[in-house]
Structures are given as C-alpha cells and as structure tokens.
Structure 1
Amino acid sequence: MANNKEICLSATERVYHSRAADTLVCYHREMTKILMDSEYLFSKAQKAKINSSDNIEHKTKNNALGKRIVDNAYDNILTTLKQQIFNNQPNIEPYFSHHNSQVMQLAKLGYLSALAYSSDNVFNNHSPLQKQQEKEITRDLFQLIGFDADKAFGHITTSHILACYEILWALRNLKTLPMAIARHPKSRDLVADKKAFELFNMSVGDILSIGEKLHERGIFDDVSHLTCRGTGMTRTMHLGKLLVPISRFEFWKKAMDILGLGYDNLIALPIDETFRTDTNKTKEIILRLIEQGEPILGVIGVLGSPTYGSIDMLKPLFELREECSRKFNSSFYIHIDASQLGYMRSLFLDKNNRIIPYEILSKKLKKEAPELELQPDVYDSFTYLSLADSVSFEPFQAGFSPYPTGIVCIKDARMSRFLANPPKVCPEQADAAYEIDGIQSAPAVASIWSIHQLYSFNSLGFGLHAQTLWAARVKLEQVLNKAKEIKRNGKSYIIKPLLTSDFNKLSFAIVIKGNRSLDVQNNLNKAIYENLVLQSNHKQDLNLLTLCARNSDDIPAKLCHDCDLDKSEWQEVKHLNLLQLTMKDAEKCGDQQIEEGYQYIKQVVLSALKNQFIKE
C-alpha cells in the first residue's frame, strides 16, 4: 500500500492555488484512495461481521467479481463528483473569498493527514498526541495574549460560538458561588462580613480564592450543589446584567436564552461615530447600575467587530473596572471576543514576545508600509489584552484553518472547576473533560497545530502576515477612491468606500451619480448582492451589510450624506445597505492583485446590470 502521507502531500500540493475541475477530480480521486485504503489500517479481528459477503476487503481479496464491483462503485463516485464540479462552475469566480478562501497549504496537509489516520474525525481527549497538540496551541495563545501559561487554562472547542457559550456557562456558575457559600453552614463564615450586594459583585479573583478554601475544607462539591448547577436559577439568584456591544447583541442573546439567564438581562452597548463601542456611554451605564444596586454579570469587549470591522477601545474598559473596584468595592468580569483579530496581536510583539513600544512600532510600520497609520487607541486595545479575564479565538477568521474551530483561553485556571460536573456518580471514573461540547474534530486540531509549528506569533512571524492583510485593505480602499465612474446606459455608478474598519474589512456602496433616493440606492446594492449569489453559485465573497437605527442609532446618517443623500432620507428609510469584503488571502496583496480586486468588484456591478437585476 502506498504511503498515505506522501499521497496526502501530493494531492494537497496539486489542489493548492488551483480550482480547475481536473485538478479537483484528481484531488478527490487520491483522497478517496486514502480513505478506502485506511480500512486496512484497522484490525477487524475483534469486530463481528454481520454480513461478511458485503465486506469490501473480503470482496477485493477473494474474488474478481467483487473487485469489479468496488472498481465500478469507485468510478461512479468520481463521475458524480466530476459532474458536480462542472455543474457548479461559477460565472463569477470568487476573488476575495471570505468564507470560501484558500487556507494555508500546511493547514490543509495537517487536516487531510489527520483525516486519513482518524477516519471517524474524532479528537480523543485521552490521546496523548492530540492532547499534546492542544496543549501547544493554547500555550502559544497564552503567550500571545500575555497570560501566565502556568496559571492559565485553555482548550479547543468545535466552534467559536461554543467557546463563548462556555465562558458564559462558567461565569454563571462562578457568580452563584458566593450566595451558595453564604447558605452552607460550613462555609458561611467565609463571607460573613459581606452584604448581599457585595456577594453579587465580588471580583473573580476573590471568588476563586474562597473556592480554594472550600477545597481545603473538602466541601466544594457540597457547596456547588447549592449554586445554580444544583438548584437551577432561583429568584434569589439574580446575577444582574450582561453588557455586550450592539454588534454582537443577537449572538449573546441566544446564549442568555440557552443558559436560562434571560435576555431581558442583556444590555446592548451603543456605538460611537467610529462604529466602536461608545466608552463614555458604557461608563454611564455601568455607574448607573452600581448606583441602582444592580449586579453586573460581565462585560464583553470585541477585538474586531464582525459587523463593522472596528476595534473596541479596551483600555478605558479595564481602567473603569479598576475605578469601580477602588471606589465602590464592585467589580465585573471582562471577556474579550477576539474571534476576528486575536491573532493579529502578533504584530505588536517583538522576537522575545514583548510588547513593542508605540513609537518604535509606528516608525517600523511607516518604513515597511507607508500607507499604514497606527492609531494609539488601537495599539492600546491590543497591548492591554492581557488584563482580560478570558479571550476567545476563531482560527478560521485568521485565514489559516478550516472551519469550524474555536479556542477559549482563561487567565485563572481555577475557573475550569466551574466547567466540570461535580459530583460524579461513580468516583472511580476518569476525570471529566472541562468543556461544554466534549468532543472536537481531530483534523481541525491538527490543521491549527500545523500552522502553530510554522509561525512564531510575533512581528517577525505571523505579524508579517497580519501587516500584509492590513496594508492590502488600505491599498484597495485607495484604489476604489480613485476609481473612475462605471458607465452603463447613460448612467454613472460610483464605488464609494464607507465605514472604514480598523483592519482588514472594507465596506462600500455602489452609488448612482445624481440619485437622491436612499431606497433606490439600497435596492441597487441589494440587487448586486443577490445577483452575485446566483452567478457565483453561493460562493460569493461580498456580504450584504445592513445598518439600521436599531443597531447603529443615527450614525449611518453621516454615511448617507457622503453618498449625496439628504438627512431626511435616513430619517424616513432608517436603514442603509452596504457591500462588505474581508481581506484574508495574503497572496492577493500586491499592486497587481489589488487592481484585479478592483476589476472583480467592477465585474460584479456590471453583471448585475447585464442580468437586469437592477432597473435602469
């Protein structure tokens, strides 16, 4: 039998950088061989063969007729795959490909190799090799964030969504512990000096320290049973409000519903004119809650909004928590959603993984990429990340790992106790996994691990990749600003960049010159998007972004003004449609590739006009 690793490498190298049908058929053919050959890697001696006459191995080895049957089935599979490929050739080939982009070659190799040797796709928590891979990945991220690797806890989840659910799950369990301590006769002395309001607003560190004392007394499981984990959410367990940016409101609303916390306890933090979470209004909300005696379950910060592409100003948030703790003896948990740009912190670290001073980094960027300008508040958000209680990542968004995977990193490993399941029905059983989903994809973990072996996560490693993507977005924006009008049937169409992000997202609108109706402009951009969906066979890489009064207040009114629309149009329509792309492919960042990107956008617009998606 051929060496599976060599076949996998060969197939991966041939398919990389190419989407030709013949190449993909070759790829499918060789991967099918791997998967069929892998049947021989597993012993069947201990398996009951219900019908040995249907066993592929038996047929292949013992009779020619069976071999022909297998060969015919194999050919039928490949014929079907080839037909699917040809039938799905898009009229408009995706260029930027946010959700259909090529991942890095080494990530593909890691994924396919693991799939060949782990055919059921299961990440085994008791596998020394796979656990070692996970450990190396999380230690890299602890170093990237600035956590103490010896005191932190982290692991890989099946998606970033579950990573965030897991954080909220642990936070819910943690916040009900002080009340349980006050109720248990053997532990109430630990919080005897605290009032009810103080119990609801204890700092994470104080709660975990008291939890240590419960372990010393041997009553942690008994007290945990009095938390929401054992009793459910009772009327006395009012954990207060969870504050989240408006851009992630629906995401966390679902989490509050699932965990029984109620989305009435969710407060949406408004955005400012830069589409970042408004720090002044956030401060007002938090101080008002403290004044009203309302507990704060936690505050969510976003390092790269998936909607706007903006980076929250995190430094003022950490300073506010310190102020509340000092003045009001009230603290709150801070989780940072770094799914979009967490890995980009590499850009801010030197070869020794220390923070590069702002002045030095600014000069370095100006020398290497003159079009880049590092804002002090963006610098602070990345460099203050280590003050968070937890951070979640999504490697897919960094452009180097297949979907889906998520990673959760918690500063204090003691918090992992609130993710376990006490007490065990059978104490002799192996330790339970500290996670919400219990199982991951082995190939996905292997793909992440492969990239972590390739890159150092500092300015000399993955930081160079991050810098390239950032520069590409700026260059493309400059090209669009200078682009000539697109003329069609006596009308002129302008590509108008709007809502400039802090990193690699670019939002723009197609504007009809002389148009004064927001409805007409919205319909135009929606039609362009819908045409692209059809012409690219659902592989489109432009998203339709809708800004409305509910998620953006009246801030988009300024964008309407930039499109030569009256303010009254916004007041009447109350929503604005934009097209958005995300730069993830570092190989499309040269001047020629940027020009090709512009031509792609132009082609998308002309295609919609040609196919009569837009009433001219």
Structure 2
Amino acid sequence: MNTPNASPLNVDALFIGPKSENRVFFKEMMEYAVSEHLHWRADFHPEDPALVTPVEQHAGDFRQTLYRTEGILRQLSSKLKNTSVPWFSPRYLGHMNADTLMVSNLAYVMTMMYNPNNCAHEASPTTTELEVEAGLDLCRMFGYDPKRSWGHITSGGTVANYEGMWVARNLKTIPLAIAQHEKARDLVAGKSEKELLNLSPSAVLDLTDELKKRGLFEEVRALSCRGVGIKQGSLGKILVPQSKHYSWMKAMDVLGIGQEHIVPLPVDENYRTDVAKMREITFRLIKEGHPILAMVSVVGTTEEGSIDHVDEVIKLRAECERKYGASFYVHVDAAYGGYVRAMFLDEDNRFMDYDALLARYRAEDIIPAGVTWPKHDVYEGFKAMAEADSITVDPHKVGYIQYAAGAVCMKDKRIVDLISYHAAYVFEEVDEAEGADTKVVLGSSIMEGSKAGATAAAVWAAHRLVPLNIGGYGKVIGRGIVTADWFAQRLASAKPLTVGRRRFEVRPIMHPDFHMVNFTFKEIGNDSLEDHNRLNKKMYEICSYASGRTYTNDFLTSSTSLSVEEYGDTPWHYVASRGFSRAEWDKVESVYILRAAVMTHFLRKAEDFDAYWEQLREVFAAKLAHIVDMEDKTGADTLIAA
C-alpha cells in the first residue's frame, strides 16, 4: 500500500466549493486529465498515420456532426442546470449528499477516458489493482487484518448487502454439504443437523481449509446451496432491525431465502436496536429450535442516522455460542455511517481510547467545546465493528465520492471461495509465486459483472489524499458532525415562528448520533396529528424538487414517515413529546418528518453558522407564511386548523 500523504490537510482545499471557489485549480487539473489522455492516444505508435485527415475534418457532414454534438451537449447542460439538485450548497439539507472531493472527480474523469472494466484483469490491469488496494484501505479502517480480509467496490450499498447475505447463506450450507459427501462426512461425524446449522463462521471456514487439503472442496461446494439450492426455511432466520434499509427485503427475494424469514428487531426511542428485546427474541428462537442464519446491525440508519449497538450483538453471539452452542453470521450495514469509523483511528490505524480521543478532538478543534461527540455507546458500537464478519460501506455517502461507489468488506477472505466462479475466457489465475495468498481474482469473486474501473480510481485517489484516520477523513466528517450538533441544538431551543395570528414551533426528533437531524413543525395549539403531518408534508413539497424550482429554492430538504407498520410504537415517544394524545397516535399511526443529513463542510465556523441559522429562520417563516397564504386563498379543506 502506498502511504497516504501525512502532511496537514486543509479541508477547504478538497472541494470545488459552494461558489466554485477552487474553480481555477479544478479547471487546470481537468485540462491536465484530458490533455494527458489525448497525448497518450497520439503517442501510441507514432509511426502510425493519422486516420482522419484535415480534408475530411473540413467536410460539410463532418462539421455538421460536430455542430449537432455541440447542440446536444448544450441541451443536456441546460437540463442539468435547471433541474439538478445543488448538493454542494449548505442550503441543501436532505439526503446523504454534499460536495464531492475534487480529487475523486478528477480521478474518475481521468480514468473514465481509458474505459477500464474491472470485471477482467486483462481489461483493467491498472484499476483492478487500485480496487484491491481501496478495498484493503476500507478493511484497515474497520479494524480487519489486511492479510486475512478482503474488500471491493460495488455499485452501492444494496449490492454490498446482497453480497453479505450471499456469503452468509452459502456458508450456512457447507456443513450440511460436508455431511452428505462420502469422503468428507467424517469431518462432522456425530453432529446433528441442528448442530451443523449452528456452527460459527470461523469453524465452518476451518472445515473448508480441510476440504481443500483433501482436494474435496469443489465437490462439497457443489452440494451446498449454490449447487442444489435451499429448502424453504431450512437455513433459519435473519434478524434485522426495524430501521433496516429496504434492500434487505429485496435481498431475501433475490437470494431465495424468503422475506418471511426476516425477523424484525424492535428499536428504542433513539432508533437503535433495542438490546433487551434483541436478546429476548434471539434466545426464544434458539430455544424453539430455529437456527439463526445471520444478524444485521445498522451503523447509520437511513432515516435517522442512528448507530446500532454492534458491541451488544457481538457479545450476544459469544453468549449464544457459550450457553447454547448456537452461532450465527454478523453483518453490519454501514452504508451510511461506515466512513465515520475513521474519526476514531490515529495515524497508525489504532482505535483510540475514548478519553484520549476526546482530548485530541479538543486539542485539534475537530470537535469543539459544547459539542459532545461521540456518545459513549456510539463509540462502543464503532469499536466492535472489527468483530463483524462483513460490512457494507458507501464511499458515495460519507466518503464524499461521486456515484456510484459502494463497497463490501469481509473479515476472513476464505469466505470468498464459497461464492467465486471462474470462466477461462474472462478471468486469469493468480500465480502462486506472485503471492496468491494475498490476492483474490476480482471478477470471479463478486456479484456484479462489468464495472467501471474509473470508480475504483476515484475511491483509491480519495484515500491517498485523505487518509482514513482522524487527521484525514476525521477532519472532513467532523465538520458535518459539529454543524449537525449545532443545528439540532438550535432546533431544540428555537423560539416560535409567528405568521399573522398563528404560531409555529420546530423541534428535532432526537439528538443525532452523527449528522442526520430529523425535525418537524407544529402549530401551537393545534393537537391534530393529521394536521401536523399535512403541514410537514407541505413544507417538504415546497422545500424539495417537488416544488418544481429546485435550483432557485432557498432551502431544500428530504422527508420520510415513521409508521407503526415499520417501527411499531417507537415513534410514539416523539409524538407524545410534541403534545399529541395517545388517541391521536392510535388513529393516525404515523408521523411525517423532515430529514436532513447535515454533511456540509462550510459552516464549521461559529460565526458562519450563526448567520446561516438566522437566515434559515427567516426562510422557515417565509415558507410557513406561504402555506398559510395558500390555505387562505383556496378556502378548501384547511391544511391546519386556524
């Protein structure tokens, strides 16, 4: 691995900026990227003649083709400028998007022109190596041993989650396949099917090592689910928090496990998995004889940004192994929050002691006085990620890298053998002499086929410039965390907004675990939850792309609904805190909220944020006035009771 630049990092120099402040450098490097590629083409076998002559280039149809090309690009530019979402601006507080790193944009463009396909090494001799390096960067960040682990780039968190469950599913069936093979069954002699389905992931992988020594691995693998399929419900349950991303439902469908085998884990009022209920459900399933295929923790829930108690999941698995001889696979869905683990690492990739971490935050002004982060349970959750079997993470979220860049990391790379394929016309064997023990053939070991090598280059370049530790990504991510904390504090103490004779109050759902801040507006004196939901839905409609004026809007956000169907009674905690009755909650069973991932890097100075907040209060008041005015003009069903 190349050592990332250890010199001091200036965060403002990493991005183009909300007002294109770094435009000169960006344009210079963009021109460099294009020019280098053009020189590369021109210098390839200079003895070859030019195949397009000046005479041909001046022909009428040639010029017309260029004019048409220019016209189409101008048309596209107009569409993009008119309707695209300005993620780069602090005025956008919605989805997990912000300004992207200049180096990743430039690396992507530079590489894109070479058009490498990371499915096959022969089609991407450079970028395949970059992808492997970038994957190991992420493994190190999560505390995995780079000599034993494996990671790679995916199109996003959905595919990464699929791969996590793909390996978990295949792993679960290997012991059963061993028991069926005449020459291998002695490895599991005396074990019942129940015992085979409850082996730990490491124990199963140790069995695969023995199969390889005997030359039986391929034969046994053919008897696993990848060869003969799975019997409905035969592998057990998958325990997933209620806060899960919808990709988990799709994964159960795609992998043939069946959605009915998902067991939802209730979440507490902070939208983290409820530890007591998780333990209760797990022990009940084991006592009823159900094997557990996998348990999922979420580090950065999509709707609330909450950090699950990964440490409690790891403790629970150890307890189940000790007390009941029952084990299961642990996957962490950290698509949103995975990169935040860099906030806890020193320059030697060591996970820092809690008190030392806080001291360094203060000393380097990464997290200033008045902001308490991380909460101790959040710290423990991030620390325990090193014990998970696999982890999903999205560089295109808190890695500040452009789409599409997801990733999956696996603690023990032996597990890749359970899913790998080989086609001689695409893939190349890795020579033992070249270090086969440290390499995995990329194309045959992933769910996707053709994939852009430019994405791998973008992630690799970002990691080289911005180290995955407290002095690199820690400084970048820390800015958003601080701004989110300030934003939540201001919402929690904000004075009512007055519109005519009506007054409105805005409050956060809870204090954020890192930088997702959810909040709602409520008209003071109106205790109808339906009116509350309509008000916030209207606020979303006029503060989002739905308004039809994305680029000229003065504030943009996103939204979601927290319902009984998805979260049980958990949202009631907030509903009650806003003064709504239990009868209202039982009738409506859903609360509509505004959702803001505060990822901007440009409001870290207290004076800048103070000015921003005052301006935002004026925007909020103007939006509410617009809603009230529209009610008065329509005279239809009132949005809010007067």
TM-score range, shorter chain: 0.7 to 0.9
The answer to whether the aligner puts 1:567 opposite 2:582 as a matched pair is yes
Q: TM-score, normalised by structure 2?
A: 0.84
1:173-322 counterparts in 2 under 5 A? Answer: 173-234=170-231, 238-248=234-244, 250-322=246-318
In 2, distance between residues paired with 1:378 and 1:100?
22
Once residues 504 and 534 of structure 2 are traced to their aligned partners in structure 1, the CA distance between those partners, rounded to angstroms, is 14
Out of 582, 588, 607, the position equivalent to 2:623 is 607
State whether structure 2 residue 562 is matched by structure 1 residue 551. no
Is residue 527 of structure 2 the alignment partner of residue 516 of structure 1? yes
1:428–1:241 CA distance, 2 compared to 1 (3 A): closer
8 Å contact kept, 1:95–1:597: no
Equivalent position amino acid for 1:473 in 2: A
1:464 aligns with one of 464, 468, 475: 475
Q: Alpha-carbon deviation of 1:525?
A: 0.2
Structure 2 contact 496–503 (Cα < 8 Å) conserved: yes
Q: C-alpha displacement at 1:180, in angstroms?
A: 0.9
Match of 1:159 in 2: 156
Task: Report if aligned partners of 1:60, 1:66 keep a CA contact under 8 Å in 2.
Answer: no
Which of 47, 69, 75 aligns to 1:80? It is 75
Residue 284 to residue 516, structure 1, CA distance change in 2 (3 Å): same
Q: How does 1:67-466 map to 2 (within 5 A)?
A: 67-84=62-79, 87-88=82-83, 94-96=91-93, 98=95, 101-118=98-115, 124-126=120-122, 127-234=124-231, 238-248=234-244, 250-365=246-361, 368=365, 369-373=368-372, 374-421=374-421, 433-466=444-477
Relative to structure 2, which stretch is displaced further, 163-172 or 529-538? Answer: 529-538
The alpha carbon displacement at 1:60 in A equals: 6.8
Matches of 1:85 and 1:230 in 2, distance apart?
47
SS in 2 for 1:212: helix
Q: In 2, Cα distance between the equivalents of 1:83 and 1:224?
A: 54
1:337 Cα shift? 0.9
Q: For structure 1, which runs of at least 5 residues remain unmatched after alignment? A: 1-12, 46-54
> What amino acid sits opposite 2:533 in the alignment?
N
Structure with greater helix percent: 1
Letter aligned with residue 504 of structure 1: H
Partner residue, 2:436:
none
Gaps of 5+ in 2: 1-12, 46-50, 430-440, 632-638
CA distance in 2, matches of 1:408, 1:15: 26
Displacement after TM superposition at 1:302 (Å): 1.0
Of residues 515, 519, 534, the one that matches 2:546 is 534
Match of 2:495 in 1: 484
> SS of 1:398's equivalent?
coil
Measure, in 1, the Cα distance between the counterparts of 2:361 and 2:230. Answer: 51
Cα displacement (A) at 1:493: 1.8
For residue 295 of structure 2, give the secondary structure of its aligned residue in structure 1: strand
- Encode CA deviations 1:330-386: one digit per residue, 9 max, x unaligned: 111101111111111112122222121112223344553112223221111111211
513-522 or 121-130, which moves further after superposition? 121-130
Q: Return the offset for 1:521.
A: 0.7
Cα distance per residue 1:526-556 (max 9 Å; x no partner): 0111122333645784221211112222222
Cα 1:582/1:68, change in 2 over 3 Å: same
Cα deviation digits, residues 252-291 of structure 1 (max 9, x gap): 1110111111111110100012221001111111111111
Q: How far, CA to CA, are the matches of 2:479 and 2:414 in structure 1?
A: 38
Give the superposed CA RMSD.
3.4
1:175, CA displacement in angstroms?
0.8
Give the 3-state SS of the residue equivalent to 2:93 in structure 1. coil
For residues 440-478 of structure 1, the C-alpha deviation after alignment (integer angstroms, 9 at most, x for no partner) is 222222211111011222222211222222111111122
User: How far off its partner does 1:394 sit?
Assistant: 0.3
For 1:102 and 1:188, locate their aligned partners in 2 and report how far apart those are by CA, in whole Å. 56
Counterpart CA distance in 1 for 2:600 and 2:15 is 16
- Judged with a 3 Å threshold, the aligned counterparts in structure 2 of structure 1 residues 589 and 197 are, in CA distance, closer, same or farther, namely same
Displacement of 1:104: 1.3
Following the alignment from structure 1 to structure 2, what is the Cα–Cα distance between the partners of residues 336 and 91? Answer: 31
- Percent identical among aligned pairs is 29
* Partner amino acid, structure 2, of 1:255: A
Distance 1:60 1:17, change over 3 A: farther
Deviation per CA, 1:233-260: give whole Å up to 9, x if none. Answer: 235x700000001111632111011111
What letter corresponds to residue 315 of structure 2 in structure 1?
A: E
Q: Distance in 1 between matches of 2:474 and 2:55?
A: 51
What's 2:6 paired with?
none
Distance 1:499 1:268 in 2: 22
Verify the 8 A CA contact 2:481 2:599 in the aligned structure 1. no
Q: Does residue 582 of the first structure (1) align with residue 597 of the second (2)?
A: yes
Shift in Å, 1:146: 1.0
After alignment, is 218-227 or 68-77 more displaced? Answer: 68-77
SS in structure 1 opposite 2:243?
Answer: helix
**Alignment check: 8 A CA contact 1:351 1:460 kept:** yes
Cα distance change, pair 597–519 in 1 and its aligned pair in 2 (3 A): farther
Q: What is the identity, as a one-letter code, of the residue corresponding to 2:250?
A: K
Using the TM superposition, give the Cα deviation of residue 116 of structure 1 relative to its aligned residue in structure 2, in angstroms: 2.7
Cα distance in structure 2, aligned partners of 1:393 and 1:522: 33
How far is the alpha carbon of 1:579 from its aligned partner? 0.5
What is aligned with 1:17? 17
Deviation at 1:197, TM superposition (A): 0.5
Q: Per the alignment, in what secondary structure is the counterpart of residue 161 of structure 2? A: helix
Q: Aligned in 2, Cα 1:428/1:113: closer, same or farther, shift over 3 Å?
A: closer
CA distance in 1, matches of 2:427, 2:526: 74
Shift of 1:518: 0.7
1:156–1:440: 8 Å Cα contact kept in structure 2? Answer: no
Question: Are 2:128 and 2:453, in contact at CA under 8 Å, matched by a contact in 1?
Answer: no
Distance 1:328 1:59 in 2: 80
| Structure 1 residue matching 2:113: 3-state secondary structure | helix
Deviations 1:380-421 (CA, angstroms, capped at 9, x unpaired): 111121111111110111151011111111111110001213
Decide whether aligned partners of structure 1 residues 88 and 340 sit closer, same or farther in structure 2, where only a CA change above 3 A counts.
Answer: closer
SS of 1:492's partner is: strand
In 2, the alpha carbon distance for the partners of 1:90 and 1:489 equals: 32
Cα-to-partner distance string for 1:32-77 (whole Å, 9 max, x where unaligned): x959x969939999xxxxxxxxx9x468745342443244224423
Could you list the per-position Cα deviations for residues 71-97 of structure 1 after superposition, in whole angstroms to 9, with x for gaps in the alignment? 422442344245435644889984336
CA change 1:348–1:44 in 2 (3 A) is closer
* Conserved 8 A contact 2:339-2:399: no
Is the Cα contact below 8 Å between 1:528 and 1:605 reproduced in 2?
A: no
| TM-score, normalising length: structure 1 | 0.87
Change (3 A) 1:605 1:582: farther
- Number of residues of Structure 1 aligned to a counterpart in Structure 2: 588
Structure 2 CA distance for partners of 1:61 and 1:383, relative to 1, 3 Å: same
